[in-house]
Amino acid sequence: MIYPMRILAFLFLIIAGMGNLKAAHLIGGEITYTCQGNNLYTISLRVYRDCGGGGAAFDANANIAIYDINNQLIATLAPPRGQIISLNNSLTSDPCVTVPPNLCVEYADYEDTITLAPLIGGYTLVHQRCCRNSIIGNVNNPGNFGNTYSIRIPSMDTTCNSAPQILSPPDNVLCLNRPATIDLQVSEADGDSLSYDICQIFAGGGNAGGGGNCFAVVPNPPCPPPFTAIPFAAPYTFSNPIPASVNFTINPRTGKIRGTANQAGVYVAGICITEWRDGQIMSTVRLDYQFAVTTCTPTIVSDMKTPIEDPTILCDGLTVQFENETSNANGVLWKFGDPSTNADTSSDPNPTWTYPRPGTYFVELIANPGETCSDTTFAPFEVIAPVQGDFLWDGVPCFEVQDIRFEATGSNIRPNTRFVWEFGADALIPSVQGRNAFGISWTQPGPKPVKLTLYWDSCSQEVVDTIDIVRGNVFAFAGNDTNIQRGSDLRLRSNFGADYYWSASSPIEIDNPFSREPTFRFRREDDTVQVFLELTDQYGCKGWDSLWVYISDDLDAAVYNIISPNGDGINDFFDLKYINPSGNCGLVIINRWGAEVYRDNSYNNDWYGTDQDGNTLPDGTYYYIVQCGVEVRSTGPITINRFYD
């Protein structure tokens, strides 16, 4: 939490004010007594002051006057100062916070004994000393007033009464805007009943210097009643002395003080503890006490990252990844505010929850659930339907055409969505912004990752897919490798396409190279010619194929270089009877990548299109070598086509 600078500045002045001007000032005290028997009383005075140094130091001896009912001075005491004790900065009433370290309070006790015989009207014990803090916020000109601490011994105290005793100093710090509960620790030795109230406090002494009169800094002796009430500054009163969103009250039976201070500062108040016996007041201990209202730091702070801090929390739609920012907690409990189930809780530090539908859900985070020091925070989460981005494309994905068109699609797309396309470095248009992208082409074929990023509010989502731009993806079939008699023409017929273009490895005659079924006339000197086909489909995509033409003077002696090992008994094996009648020649089969796939050193017309291990080879064109000893008798292509007839 960030506090306004004016509050921080004011707190600094409060803390610093305890160390300057009349830096150490009296900030409270009380007087009480204990009867030891035989009319012997121990008189106890406790005085509080700040620790700033200088100003009103603890007196080496305290002046205590004892008056009868007629204000006749009976005796004076000058008990010596005891040990000076500093109060620590922890709050016994609220162990779940720490207070600023600059706040410092110390106290000293003064004790003496005196024998006082039972007296009609009893006795009044008085101590007076100036001056109060000048920064007290609920008193006009507080530095002009001192303190009066007094108590009465009841009339004809033949029962040896002891007044109530405050066992330990109450907390003198109130945390700003934090409910406070102060439990007074009081003992009563006689078994009398006690009542508590917020009561008037009194001035005593003044800043008139020495001389010992009632307006001196140290009246000697302290003056008798009636005493002057401290003038509270409006709107404060002795019964409502501290600014609060919940007024401070005290339980008259238990002494518990409760309230919530809502303004930083220093405020003085009176707390009276009255002793009762048989319906009669025996004594009243009046604690004159100063409270500092300041900003405390909770030791346990429940906190979560909210959509205000990080709007990306809501980017995943109905599923929310919660982030715990709690300090010093042993554990947490999340309550997701999902009314559709009672199981919407988690003790995981950073859980995930999926809501059933869009809406505003109030999420609760408890730090240290069930422990004394715990803290709870709430935050609204406005969950919306998830964005599901996607895209479509249209066009011809072959390299020769391309010109691809893209369109962003999906569900729950926000109206303010911005679309960014990325097509890669080899795209002619690498990136485009907008819901649609037109005319996209690439400089090389291959798989092309396409990324679409959707941006809305503080969110983003990526959609990635691949389009395969291929070259030569159209099926083209020029025909199988073939043998012809020298001087003969060859007529070929391709599969169906939109356009055709035939060519050859030698300058042969083609009657119509743009026909589906052209006629080829070869030269007399040609032995082997490769014929090429480029086929174009109706979209402009291309495919290529080729075949070998073997030209021989004796066609019967030629190697028939196509087999169809389909089990029909026709042309199932590679027949080399014309060039290897004895079976002493070897056969080697090589695939199109130059790898040997079959070898038989004594071939007997028994190769059925398998590899060395007998596995069926794929249909296609291979290369054969027939070697008889050191003589390479024949080489050329051999085509496997199991559908050939």
Is it the case that residue 645 has pLDDT exceeding 70? no
Token pair belonging to 137: 């916020």
Per-residue confidence (pLDDT) for residue 635, from 0 to 100 = 85
Average pLDDT over the chain, rounded to an integer: 90
CB-CB contact of 28 with 290 (8 Å): yes
DSSP string for 483-519? EEETT-EEE--PPP-SEEEEEESS--EES-TTSSS-E
In this predicted model, what pLDDT tens digit does every residue of 564-593 receive, in sequence order? 999 888 889 998 877 777 788 999 999 988
Antiparallel, parallel or unpaired: β 562-563 and 631-640: parallel
> From its phi and psi, is residue 36 left (phi > 0), alpha (psi between -120 and 50) or beta?
alpha
Per-residue confidence (pLDDT) for residue 480, from 0 to 100 = 81
Per-residue confidence (pLDDT) for residue 17, from 0 to 100 = 36
Architecture in CATH of 559-645: Sandwich (2.60)
DSSP assignment letter at 200: -
What mean pLDDT do residues 386-391 have?
96
Q: Which CATH class is domain 389-465?
A: mainly beta
What mean pLDDT do residues 203-224 have?
87
Per-residue confidence (pLDDT) for residue 481, from 0 to 100 = 80
Is it the case that residue 485 has pLDDT exceeding 90? no
Selection from 615, 634, 535, 530 nearest residue 576 by Cα: 634
Pairwise CA distance, residues 142 & 57, whole Å: 18
Pairwise CA distance, residues 194 & 516, whole Å: 120
Is it the case that residue 68 has pLDDT exceeding 90? yes
Confidence of residue 78 (pLDDT cuts 50, 70, 90): very high
In this predicted model, what pLDDT tens digit does every residue of 393-444 receive, in sequence order? 999 999 999 999 999 999 999 999 999 999 999 999 999 999 999 999 999 9
According to CATH, the topology of domain 472-558 is Immunoglobulin-like (2.60.40)
CA–CA distances in Å: residue 485 to residues 95, 493, 503, 526, 621: 111, 19, 20, 11, 22
Is it the case that residue 621 has pLDDT exceeding 80? yes
Token pair belonging to 623: 């290369």
Pairwise CA distance, residues 378 & 373, whole Å: 17
Confidence of residue 54 (pLDDT cuts 50, 70, 90): low
Is it the case that residue 34 has pLDDT exceeding 60? yes
Is it the case that residue 148 has pLDDT exceeding 70? yes
Cα angle 47, 75, 37; round to 5:
80
Beta bridge partners of residue 220, listed in sequence order: none
In this predicted model, what pLDDT tens digit does every residue of 95-132 receive, in sequence order? 888 888 777 889 999 999 999 999 999 999 999 999 88
Helix, strand, coil % in the chain, rounded to nearest 5: 5, 45, 50
Confidence of residue 139 (pLDDT cuts 50, 70, 90): very high
Selection from 385, 344, 389, 335 nearest residue 362 by Cα: 335
Per-residue confidence (pLDDT) for residue 7, from 0 to 100 = 35
| Lowest-pLDDT range of 48-57, 68-77, 121-130, 604-613 | 48-57
Per-residue confidence (pLDDT) for residue 95, from 0 to 100 = 84
Per-residue confidence (pLDDT) for residue 324, from 0 to 100 = 96
Sign of CA dihedral 602, 608, 613, 619: positive
CB-CB contact of 315 with 458 (8 Å): yes
Per-residue confidence (pLDDT) for residue 554, from 0 to 100 = 63
What mean pLDDT do residues 455-471 have?
95
CB-CB contact of 478 with 501 (8 Å): no
Q: Which residue type does 209 have?
A: G
Architecture in CATH of 300-383: Sandwich (2.60)
**Cβ neighbours of residue 633 under 8 Å, at least 6 residues apart?**
579, 580, 585, 626, 627
Domain limits of the chain?
A: 5-297, 300-383, 389-465, 472-558, 559-645
Sign of CA dihedral 473, 477, 480, 486: negative
C-alpha gyration radius of the chain: 53
CB-CB contact of 228 with 202 (8 Å): yes
Is it the case that residue 346 has pLDDT exceeding 90? yes
Three-state DSSP class for residue 12: helix
What mean pLDDT do residues 614-641 have?
89
Q: Are 472-558 and 559-645 the same fold in CATH? A: yes
Is it the case that residue 556 has pLDDT exceeding 90? no
What mean pLDDT do residues 360-389 have?
95
Percent of the chain with pLDDT over 90: 76
Per-residue confidence (pLDDT) for residue 52, from 0 to 100 = 64
Is it the case that residue 18 has pLDDT exceeding 50? no
What mean pLDDT do residues 244-267 have?
96
- Measured in residues, the chain has a length of 645
Per-residue confidence (pLDDT) for residue 10, from 0 to 100 = 36
For residue 548, give the H/E element and its range.
strand 542-552
CB-CB contact of 339 with 329 (8 Å): no
Three-state SS across 108-140? EEEEEEEECCCCCCCEEEEEEECCECCCECCEC
What number of CA atoms fall less than 13 Å from residue 548's CA on the CB side?
17
Cα(first)–Cα(last) distance of the chain, in Å? Answer: 89
Per-residue confidence (pLDDT) for residue 20, from 0 to 100 = 32
Pairwise CA distance, residues 14 & 280, whole Å: 42
Place of tokens 């273009």: 501
CB-CB contact of 549 with 590 (8 Å): no
Place of tokens 């005659």: 509
What mean pLDDT do residues 597-619 have?
94
Whether this model's pTM surpasses 0.75: no
Per-residue confidence (pLDDT) for residue 644, from 0 to 100 = 65
Per-residue confidence (pLDDT) for residue 297, from 0 to 100 = 87
